[in-house]
Amino acid sequence: MNIDFERKTVIVTGAAHGFGRAIAQAFAARGAAVHICDVNEQGLAETVSLCGEKVHSHVLDVGNRSAVQLTVAAIATSCGSIDVLVNNAGGVRGQVGRPIEEISEEDWQTIFDVNLSGAFFMAQAVAPVMKKQKSGRIINISSGAGLGISLTGIQAYASAKAGQIGLTRQLAHELGAWNITVNNVAPGFVRSNPTTERQWDAMGADGQAKLLQTIALKRLGVPDDIAAMVMFFASDFAGWISGQVISVDGGK
């Protein structure tokens, strides 16, 4: 299967590390002009240095609708098209699992802002461009937490990721008439960033072994496994696939 993205413009959010960085590298290696977004300016610079000259960075909080509109408009103007959007920005914003009665409104909202509102705002901004060109790919990165429960125990994270899966299905039907597909990748547990490293360490040897036993392949994946699924969804091979959620988790 030969997948390439020559002359394609791609936006990847949450690209300062982990899945987003791996996804940006995969697109760049296949010829795309890649625009990466994150609030972490230093991490963005590191991603650019790994990807090369076809990657351009934008410091952006995807939960800020006005900033999203401005950034996407600038990319569309400079490139003339936006072919692929990967909504990867997310995470737990430094939170840990706590009882429901201890969760503040701010704790709840900040996780929704990046994981769900951000995906909506980015899709909302690229939709007019993709409609005009009558083609596009939107790929949301959710989590196994959106299909089951979160290993973190964070209520807002599981809820926001489940909401993102619902958004995927809804937008697939709304945008399909313009040849825009909307799909979702639900990763299992992958050691991909400082947060997941802390989670892994907190499990201890027994917890780590127990987790591995729940995986059919008996091993953890790597960020490139998630990027590979994104490459497929973004390619011509997935032209008649939309509204789908694929778990990339080693088998459950």
Provide the annotated active-site residues. 157
* Contacting residues for 152 by C-beta, under 8 A, at least 6 apart: 92, 95, 96, 97, 145, 199
Measured between alpha carbons, how far is 110 from 92 in angstroms, rounded to an integer?
9
Residue 235, class by beta-carbon neighbours within 10 Å (0-12 exposed, 13-18 middle, 19+ buried)? middle
H helix and E strand count, the chain:
8, 7
Residue 59 tokens, joined: 């410091």
Residue 110 tokens, joined: 């900040």
DSSP string, 128-149: HHHHHHT-EEEEEE--GGGTS-
- Say how many Å lie between the first and final Cα of the chain, rounded: 26
Measured between alpha carbons, how far is 189 from 224 in angstroms, rounded to an integer?
13
Residue 70, class by beta-carbon neighbours within 10 Å (0-12 exposed, 13-18 middle, 19+ buried)? middle
